[in-house]
Each structure stands twice: as C-alpha cells, then as structure tokens.
Structure 1
Amino acid sequence: MTTPSTITIAQNSAHPLTVSRLGYGTMRLPGPEVWGEPANRAEALQILRTAVEQGVSFLDTADYYGEDVTNRLIAEALHPYGSDLVICTKVGATRRPDKSWVPYHTPANLRASIENNLRTLRQEQIQLVHLRLIGHGGVPFEEQLGAMFELQREGKILHVGLSNVSREEVERGLSMGPIATVENMYGHGQRTTLHSPHGESRGGEEVLDLCEQHGIPLIPYFSLVHSLPRADDKIAEIARRHNASEAQINIAWLLHRSPWLLPIPGTSRLVHLRENLLAADLRLSAEDMAHLE
C-alpha cells in the first residue's frame, strides 16, 4: 500500500497550505510536566532544525507549553521561517503556577493568547490556530469560536481549527464557518471513544469519517504516548516483520489508516526523531493493516 506524502489544509480556501504528512509536535520539548526549560536545550534546538532539514513542514505548538518555551525554541531555531513551514498553535487553555491546565477561553482570553503567540513566534499572522476545548461551562462554544473567526477576519489568524472536540462540536463549528483542521487524541492504542466527564466522545475515530467527507485533515495527538506502554502483540508482530520499531509501526498505521491523517509524533530525543521520520518510508500491506484491525 502506498500513502500520499503531502496533505493540503484548507484546500478549498483562497490560501491552501500543503505540508508533509508527517509533522512534529513540540509538547515533549519542555521540562517535566510540560513545564520549564528543556533538560538539554541544545538538543531541543537541534531537533527542530533537523526536523525541518529532513522535510517536516508542519510544527504543532502552544504558548502554554512551558510556558512559552516551545514557541521561543521554534523562533530561536528557525526564524526567519521558510515559506513552506506551517506553524500551528493552540489557544483556549493556560497554566497555573501549580502546573495545572485550566480554561482560558473568553473572547478577551483568546485574543490575549493570539497576541502572545504572535509575539513569541515572531509572526505577523499565525497560519493555523486550534481552539482547544478544555473543561465545561463559562463560555459557550459558539462564543469561543465566534471570537476565533473575528480574529481571522482581522488577519491575525489565517485558518481556524478545533481541538479535543466531539463529532457534534465539529458539526456545529462547520455550521459557523470554515474549519481547516481537527486535532483529537488518536492512535492504534486509542482509537475508540475518549469519554469526557460529561459523556462526549472526543477521540479520533468518532470524527475521522466527518473530516474525510469535508476534506479536513485530522491531526492525531498522543498517538504514541498512549499506545506504546501497553502490551500490543499485533504491533510487535508487524514491527518484527518489517524490521522496524513499534513506534514506527504506530506512525505508519496512522499514515495508512487514512490520507486525511496528519500525525505529529513528538520526542525530546534527536535519535527518536530520526527514527520516527523513517516511518514515512514504511509500506504496510493490506494484510498488515487487516491484521492491525
């Protein structure tokens, strides 16, 4: 089986973005609990440079990683940015001094987050921003997304996406305006439902067919973190068959699962980055994929 090497975000818009189908998520770069400076700053900077040198053209970040750590690392390592590099960030959450993750989703909060991302990334416009839904209550979904579309009209955002959303929320979002991407937890070991405290399913499988119907790339996060620690004999068997690591097979499974998936496996080790990137060269057969199902 062959897989496309690129994917286009907002393909029907006036400003489509075509990127490599294997991106890089920066969440693992900060210190423990996604807080503070990296354990090895020089390696973190080299990871970012190597990813881009090796053809990665999609980076996922957030100003609440660190705080601001990954954004500052990206700017230090890569600015001025190449014309083909897409940097995607997230808003809707913030961190407290106790390292907890809390909603930050009023229109004023979202605007402040966008301004902070623009400053720390050294950009005049952010190409893609995900509205991350975290917690419940406070600010209605429509008010949050409406504020994002307003920032888009002002030119601070090029494209708007959604993160950690249910199928129903994707549908509501589409009724309000163009949704460029969806970012949900998804991987071979976490395919089915991810139930929130209020009963919604916010995993990848629940929204994948909807994304495919509308030509919306689905960006899986935690695709390795939640699958590798679990005993998975099927992944191990396919890994042996291809002389590959289990992480590589997990990534290859996503690339083969749907052409609308844009994996962003993250790591804080340069050796693991190089290993992950090689997963794009793996070709799983129809029999391999059937076995993994």
Structure 2
Amino acid sequence: MYNTLMSIAKTITIAGKSSHPLTVNRLGYGTMRLTGPGIYGEPPRRDEALEILRQTAKHGINFLDTADYYGEDVTNRLIAEALYPYNHDLVICTKVGGARKPDKSWIPFNKPENLRTSIENNLRTLKLDQITLVHFRVMHGDSGFEASMEAMFTMQQEGKILHVGVSNVDAEELQAAMRMGAIATVENMYGHAQRNTMTGHGGVTRGAEDILHICEENEIPLIPFFSLLTANQKKDTRVATIAQKYGVSEAQINIAWLLHRSPWMLPIPGTSSLKHFEENVRAADIELSQEDMDFLA
C-alpha cells in the first residue's frame, strides 16, 4: 500500500532564487484548528493541541502555518509554548491583513500601520526577532492592495520579515505583487473538490488552477488551505473509490492527490485531533499511480 521510496518529491524549496532559500519537508501543518469554536478562543483540549505541535517536530514537519488572528493569538502562543526554543530548520509562516471582532467576525486589518502592528505582535508572541515567512492575506472589503504590499516589502527591508508571500489572491493581484518584489509563496484555497471554483474575496477559491500555473512557471510554492473535504461540500465518489482501493480515508487521498498534483504544492492539513494528525502524516507515504491520477482528474 505504501512506498518508502516515493516518486514524488519529499522536500520543496521556498525562495530558491534568493540569497536565503528555505528547504522544508513537503507536508506542513496548519494550526488554525487548534483554537476554540469559530476559530476563536482557547482550544477545548489544550493538552492535545500542545501534543500535536510537539508531534510535528517528531514527524519531521518543519513548516507551520499560523496567524495572530487565530484565536486571537492562541495558535502563536501554543506554538511558542510547545516548541520554543525552535529547531533551526523550523519555518513558521504567519499571515497579516485580517483581524477579529468580539462577535468572531473577520475584518480587514490591512492599512500599513495595521500590518506593522500585526508584525510586531507576531514577533512578540512567537518570541522571534525576525519572521521567516509572512503572507499578506487579502480579505473581503480590502482596498489599497499595492499600498499593503509596499508596507510588507518595507518591513522586509527593515529585517522584520525574511520572505514575503500572499494569500487569497487572484491572478491579477499575484502578478501585481510579483512586479513589486519577490513573492516567496502563495497561500490560496485549493483542493481536489475546489480546484475549479471561482468566487470573490469572500472566501472560496480565487481561480485556483490559474494561480497554480503562475506558481509553477515562477517556481513559487503554492500552499493550499481548506484542501480537505468538508461536510458542506459534495463528496466525489472517485476519491472514495481510490480510498477504498488503498484502504485509507478520503482525507488521506486528498492530501496524497495534492502532493502528486504538482511538485510546487506544499499542503498544510490542519486538525485538532491527534488521531487525525497521525493519519494525515501517513498520507505523505501513499503512492498514487498515473492511472489513479487520471481517474481523479
């Protein structure tokens, strides 16, 4: 069922053309689910959340995705508690551009002074002098995209940020950002179930295939979020068929499909369950055949 010698790449390089390239294992972990209901407040099973983070290091996962508006500040504080002092090869990627209101709604927080406040907050809660990778997250109601990106590159020049990325962008925004400076990564919604969906900034996909093609052409890793099937999505019977073939879960096949879909894909499946985390890790060892990929196309 599993191959120890996989044909798909085990690692991926971020900002490979820069003077500070980063090579990470090609399965990361997204921390968003380590919060309370509605991605707000403390986790209901705090000990399990901390153990999942410790297990990332034990399993060789050295790419963590977080944001100071998860919780708020919950995932950053959990990361620091579980893993500080950090392993030298750990890449902690955070996002700025959004904030939360007391009613748990999400709002843009993207003015240059807002972004600076968020960066300073991330540095403090993560106990870092420099954040290795920061995504500017486009949110519903955003305005002044170029001014926001200019602020990001300014903080990079100041040394607060090593590499700049973007999140939830469409092709036009991505290309505009690339004209302004080096874009290390893109974090967009992408998965087998959503890859051809196109909606606005409100939250679904921003032309996923177009974004993937731009990333591949420019050797920019694409970090897919919300890549797994959810209760709100129509299940694809083809995924179920392949899952049954290998005796694994549909979620595992979705992760394996992402890893096979493109060498520039860096999945970050998240979960608050240690059992599901371990299942997700094992998905990286599933070898899909070309016949499988053609069937899932």
In structure 2, the residue matched to 1:50 is 55
Q: Which amino acid is 2:187 matched to?
A: E
Q: Are 1:33 and 2:38 counterparts?
A: yes
**What's the counterpart of residue 196 of structure 2?**
192
- Residues 139-192 of structure 1, C-alpha deviations (whole Å, 9 max, x = no match): 411100000000000000000000000011111111100000000000011111
In structure 1, stretches of 5+ residues that fail to align are: none
Separation (CA, whole Å) in 1 of partners of 2:255 and 2:73: 27
CA distance in 2, matches of 1:66, 1:161: 22
Structure 2: any 5+ residue segments left out of the alignment? 1-5
1:154 corresponds to which of 150, 155, 158: 158
2:258 is matched with: 254
Cα distance change, pair 225–203 in 1 and its aligned pair in 2 (3 A): farther
Provide the alpha-carbon RMSD of the alignment.
1.5
In the other structure, the counterpart of 2:3 is none
Equivalent in the alignment of 2:284: 280
**Could you list the runs of 4 or more consecutive aligned residues of structure 1 that deviate by over 6 angstroms after TM superposition?**
none
Corresponding residue of 1:116: 121
Equivalent positions of 1:154-233 (< 5 A) are 154-196=158-200, 202-226=206-230, 229-233=233-237
Return closer, same or farther for 1:42/1:203 CA change in 2, 3 Å cut-off.
farther
Q: Label 1:227 to 1:163 Cα distance change in 2 as closer, same or farther (>3 A).
A: farther
Cα distance in 1 for partners of 2:201, 2:244 equals 39
Q: Secondary structure at the residue paired with 2:135?
A: strand
Secondary structure, aligned partner of 1:3 = coil
Residue of structure 2 equivalent to 1:142: 146
Shift of 1:227: 7.7
Q: TM-score, normalised by structure 1?
A: 0.96
Tell me what 1:125 maps to.
130
Q: Does 2:10 align with 1:5?
A: yes
Distance 1:256-1:244 versus aligned 2 partners, 3 A rule: same
Per-residue CA distance 1:215-249 (angstroms, 9 max, x = gap)? 00000000015488532210010011111111100
2:45 partner letter: N
Separation in structure 2 between the aligned mates of residue 197 and residue 31 of structure 1, nearest angstrom:
24
Change (3 A) 1:201 1:49: closer
Aligned-partner Cα distance in 2 for 1:66–1:228: 23
Deviation at 1:205, TM superposition (A): 1.5
The answer to whether the 8 Å contact 2:194/2:205 transfers is no
Q: Match of 1:16?
A: 21
* Distance (whole Å) between structure 2 residues aligned to residue 153 and residue 90 of structure 1: 18
SS in 2 for 1:88: strand
